[in-house]
Each structure stands twice: as structure tokens, then as C-alpha cells.
Structure 1
Amino acid sequence: MSPIRPTGPIRVGRAAATAFLLTGVLGACTGAPAPSTSAGATGSAAPVSVDNCGTTVTVGAPPARLVTLNEGATEVALALGLQSRMAGTAYLDDSIPEKWKAAYDSVPVLSEKYPTKEKLLAARPDFLYSSYASAFSDKVAGTREELQGQGIPSYVSPFGCSDKSKVAPTTWQSVWGELTDVAKVFGVQDRAAAIQQQQEQQLAQFKATAAGKDLKVLWFDSDTKTPFVGAGHGGPQLVLDAVGARNVFADLPGGWQNVSWEKVVAADPDAIVLADASWDTAQSKIDYLEQDPVLSKLGAVQRKAFVVVPFSESTPGVLLADGAAKVSAGLGQLHPAS
């Protein structure tokens, strides 16, 4: 994401975001060191179990042929330095951050979206990890029960459980809980603890800076007909709370909601955070806002008060703190309209 400049949309690029992180204790999400394999890091062959979406997942030893089926899962694996234990990956929402690009390039890409069941099984996985329950359907990997019967345990992000009553609350502790679960399965808890500590330091810095103080912010994800926006209980709310900004749709339930453009106009945001995804780019949303005869008159649009964040940094996961860094850097250059 980038700060808003009067000459154009503010896009804090990856290099700029990195520079921002280096100004404080923000080294949190840099490249991961090689995972520890010592017994102290649970590198032993003793069985390990974690509770996941109401299911107990048990491995007799750290898996050696992991396949990740969504970008969020892939990024957790790369953050933990598991690339040498990955037999495949699939389904990007935008792009892998530069800090993990070399590690990602060393892993076979099975499919642009979800792979077929045949292609997936041909990779001989001994563990499957997905951000969404949709990966575990008959059209993709098969059900988790079927896979377990074939000796392939699996893990779904606690934010993506098929049973909605089991979905984890959207908190930073839940983000770190997922990271810790995966680290426990693979015997690299020390790495997960280090990432959590670094991100806690980041959040403390964001709170102290309060770059979003006094700013009303719209988080625009997708859909120009009935805009899909960040509501009061998802990744966008966590980020906006972290930087001290006010989400104009914080009173809506859930993480995301469709709203009317009339409500957006009535909210009159000071800044607009735009998700940049492969299926709906930030630029396409900017073009729509600037070309619409009503929306183009919004103060935020006229000032080009846009902060662009990759979609993968707007959802609960290991990159959400990176999204907060971009939003903090972007909003830090803005001031409420007088």
C-alpha cells in the first residue's frame, strides 16, 4: 500500500514497505532462516497432535512432502522455512512477496488454481494444508476423512473451517495460533515464536505511531455493483485498529460485507484502501471510482487518497502484519479533509 499523494494514488511498493519496516523493529516478516531440526525444536519422531476445526490432526513424524493448496497456506509454509519439505503448491491470489520468491521458485507448482485429484496424488503428499475448506471437496483433494484413510493428514486454516461454528475469531492471537499449529506439526516451533515476537513488536510500533488517527477509511475489496468492503470483524478491521484508523463500516458484522454506493458516499471516507488481487486489481477499482460521475466527487477520490494492499495481506495470515505496515505508511502521509 502506498500513501496518498496529490499527484497520484499512493502505492507503497515492496521496496518502500521494506524500507519502512527497517525504520523500527519491523524485521518481522523477512526471509525465514532454515528450520531447526534439533530434538529441542521437536524434530523427534514422537507423534504430534493439533486440534483443527474440530478435528484432531496427528502426525507420527514431521511431514516431508507437504502440498499447500492456497496462497495463504503457502506463505505460512515459506515463512517457517519449509520449502525443502514441500512437494507442491497451488493457487495464488496475487504474487509471492520478494522475500520468499527464491524459496517459492524451488517448489513445484501443481496448478494455477486447484489441481486435479490425480495431479495432487501424483505429487505423493504426506500432508495437505489449505486456507479454505473448498480444497477438500470431491472435485479437488477429496474429503479430509478420505485422505486420512489414505494416510494423508491435512490442516485447514482455522479461519476457513467448513463448520462455521468452528471458525476462529479474527484476532492476532488466532493468526499466530495457526502459525504455531503448523510449526508444531513440522517441528519448528522456535521459528513460529520468533515470527510472533517480531510481529508483536511491529504492532506496538504501529500503535505508538497511530498513523491513521482521525482518518475515516473505506476498505474496498472488490465488486463495483455492490462493493464488497471490510466490515467489523476481519483482517481489514485488525489492520485499521492497529494503525489507529476508523473503519467506516466497522458496525457491520463479519469480516466482509456488500454495501451500497449510497452508503459509501454517505460515509465520505478520508482514504480508501484497495485490495490488489489477480481477479480484481486495485487499478481497475481506481479507474471505476475516478470515472463514475458521483464517486469521482468523493474527497478521497479527488485527492487520490488510495492505499494499495495485496489481497494476501488483507486476510488473516502471516502477511497481515505486512499489510498493516503498508497501511500505516500510506495513512501516515494523509490528513483528514478540512
Structure 2
Amino acid sequence: MMMAHKLFKGLGFGVMTAAMLLVSACGSSTSTQPTAPAKTEQAGAPAVESKPVTLVNNGIEMTYPKAPERAVTLNQHVTEIMLALGLADKMVGTAYLDDQILPELKADYDKVPVLSDKYPTKEVLMAANPDFVYAGWKSGFGEKGVGSMQDLEKVGIKSYLQTSSSMPGPTIDDVFADITNIGRIFRVEDKANELINKMKSEMDQTISKIGKVDKPLHVFVYDNGEDQPSTAANNYMTSLIEIAGGKNIFDDIQKGWADVSWEEVVNRNPDVIIIVDFGDRTAEQKRNFLLTKKELADIPAIKNQRLIVLPLSAASEGVRAPIALKILAEGLYPDKFK
């Protein structure tokens, strides 16, 4: 089945069945394998401290001698991973929301200081006295962020960059690998495996309703831009669209996001348009713009008003994969979800 081939390659999900989606999280493929198990405790005996965990993160070898105690998260999707792993008490700061925190995580989120609406300055970061910084996007460790991972290491601050958000063509397996690594760094592997299995189970429920798709619907992702649209190319959304039974019309462009032409959008004739709800313009404003743009009047997506709104938080490489998949699948095949 075409829709599942790329997304579940690392876990062997060639056929979309519940059994394959419920494989152990230990089966996820990743090149960032730590060297040590978690600490263990025996009844009546003092806790045994875990050995250092070493892994390669985005080309940088990083050793975590012990579980971080004072973490700062940059970007919403990694903040939600930390909260979903029950690590709010290990967080001394967070920054950069795309929209609203998941309702089930909000109570814990409200306990964590918000350091900045966007990326905090280096001074603000250091004032929080962190021992670990977890960024969702490369920009978090860039010039407009808090400094490079190497610079943080020099002052004794460990770090982690979400690998699935920093690589070409990531799949859900790559997201699972990141969750696994955070679980190992914080010595909460069991909780990470539990979260991964829960996500797989929820995604399986949606996939089972989609069933077999012989001819995937062609999908155009509209992020922003009037003179020239910005769209999802070979990125995480392409994988989500594929498992939902669609095909990203610009998946041949070998980068994450790309500017294309309206003429090429028309040439590729999408059946459905996904509107990314992010930026200065509302989703409704984007929808009205697309529906009234003369050049698009004859494409099936506009003629049939097949437009799906997807929040950026759901389109990011985090715990919302089941939510994103359900939104996409219901938008692509509404009759199967009645």
C-alpha cells in the first residue's frame, strides 16, 4: 500500500494492519543509540545511578552523565514531548509556542516558567540556570537562538536538537526515535515506550478506517504567500499525507519547504488543499484567498471546495501525529469517517 510505505519503513510497516502498528517501540530504527541502560532499583536497596548515556545528535557526539534536572525547551512540539513524558518537574523554562498547548498537557505546562514568546536571549536563558536545552528547530541553536550546541557544552549545558525536524524526508519512525532518545536521556525509557505505543495505537485506529486506497488523492499544501506560494516539499507532512491516503504534489522537491509558482500548482491539478494554520494571516483569510484566486478556479480542490486546515503544531514532529493523521484522513475521505 503506497500510503504506508515511506512513513513506516523503519518499523517494517509495509502492510497497514493493527499488528504492525503495535510493534514494540524498541523496533524503531535510529542511528543514535545510547550506550547505557536506565538506572534500576531493587526492593530494600538504594537506587543505583545509571551510567552515562552517549549518542550522536545531528552529527555531534553528546554524553549525558546523568538525567537533566533543569531543562529548557524551545519550540512547542518538543515542549509537548517533555510534558507527555511526565517531565514537567524537570523543566525550568520553555519558549516559542505555535498555538495552544494540548489541553491534556496544559496543567503541567502552566507550572513551567515561560522565558520568551520567541527564542529567549542568551542572558535570559542563562538566568534560568539550565543544565539541558532541547530545541525543536535548528534555528533554536542558531544566531537568533540561544547559541550553538558546542557553545552550550562549553559552559556545562547539555543539549538536544530534534533530529526528525532537522533531516530530509522524516517519517513517524524518526519522531519515535527522538522520543526514545529523550526517554533515555532522562532515564524514563518505559514512559517513552508507553507514549510511542499509545501514538501507534491511535494512528492504527485511523488507518483501519481509511482502508485500501487504489488512487491517492493529489494534495497541495499551502503555507503562505500571495505572489508565490510556499509549500511543503519533501518533509514530514509528505509522510503524513501519504499514510492518510494522499500524495503531496510537490514531494519531488528535495527540501523541506519550497516556494513554487501558481502556474505549477495549476499544472499539478490538486484534488485537495491543506492550509497550514500559522503566521500573520488566519486560516479563514488563507481559505478566502485561495477560493477567490482566479488562476485556481478550475482545479478540483477549488471547484469542489476541498480545503483542510491543519495547525502547525499538528504538522510538526511531535506527539500530535495521531491528531494530524485523523484531520488529514477525515478531510481526504470524509465518507469513511461518518
Q: TM-score range by the shorter chain?
A: 0.7 to 0.9
C-alpha distance in 2, partners of 1:226/1:253? 18
CA-based RMSD:
2.6
- The alignment status of 1:55 with 2:60, answered yes or no, reads yes
More displaced stretch, 251-260 vs 233-242:
251-260
C-alpha distance in 2, partners of 1:261/1:246? 18
The answer to whether the Cα contact below 8 Å between 1:234 and 1:316 also exists between their aligned partners in 2 is: no
- The alignment status of 1:175 with 2:180, answered yes or no, reads no
- The alignment status of 1:200 with 2:200, answered yes or no, reads yes
Where in structure 2 are the equivalents of 1:207-218 lying within 5 Å? 207-210=207-210, 213=213, 214=215, 215-218=217-220
**Count of aligned residue pairs for this structure pair:** 294
1:108/1:132 CA distance change after superposition, 3 Å: same
The answer to whether the Cα contact below 8 Å between 2:165 and 2:317 also exists between their aligned partners in 1 is: no
Amino acid at match of 1:188: V
C-alpha distance in 1, partners of 2:248/2:139? 29
C-alpha distance in 1, partners of 2:143/2:302? 45
The answer to whether the Cα contact below 8 Å between 1:78 and 1:100 also exists between their aligned partners in 2 is: yes
C-alpha distance in 2, partners of 1:207/1:136? 36
Amino acid at match of 1:126: D
The answer to whether the Cα contact below 8 Å between 2:169 and 2:256 also exists between their aligned partners in 1 is: no
More displaced stretch, 179-188 vs 202-211:
202-211
- The alignment status of 1:276 with 2:281, answered yes or no, reads no
Q: Secondary structure at the match of 2:294?
A: coil
Where in structure 2 are the equivalents of 1:179-194 lying within 5 Å? 179-194=179-194
Where in structure 2 are the equivalents of 1:236-255 lying within 5 Å? 236-255=237-256
Q: Secondary structure at the match of 2:195?
A: helix
Q: What is the deviation of 1:234?
A: 1.4
Q: Secondary structure at the match of 1:89?
A: strand
The answer to whether the Cα contact below 8 Å between 1:275 and 1:281 also exists between their aligned partners in 2 is: no
Where in structure 2 are the equivalents of 1:71-90 lying within 5 Å? 71-90=76-95
Q: Mind listing any 5+ residue stretches in structure 2 that lack a counterpart?
A: 1-20, 23-37, 42-46
Q: Secondary structure at the match of 1:142?
A: coil
Deviations 1:140-166 (A, max 9, x none): 3222222112111111111355xxxxx
Q: Secondary structure at the match of 1:316?
A: coil
C-alpha distance in 1, partners of 2:231/2:211? 21
C-alpha distance in 2, partners of 1:43/1:105? 32
Q: Mind listing any 5+ residue stretches in structure 1 that lack a counterpart?
A: 1-24, 27-36, 162-166
Q: What is the deviation of 1:268?
A: 2.4
Q: What is the deviation of 1:328?
A: 1.2
TM-score normalised by L of structure 2: 0.79
More displaced stretch, 77-86 vs 198-207:
198-207
Amino acid at match of 1:157: Q
TM-score normalised by L of structure 1: 0.79
Deviations 1:272-319 (A, max 9, x none): 111111444322211211232232444322433111111121133322
- The alignment status of 1:301 with 2:302, answered yes or no, reads yes
Amino acid at match of 1:128: V
More displaced stretch, 134-143 vs 180-189:
134-143
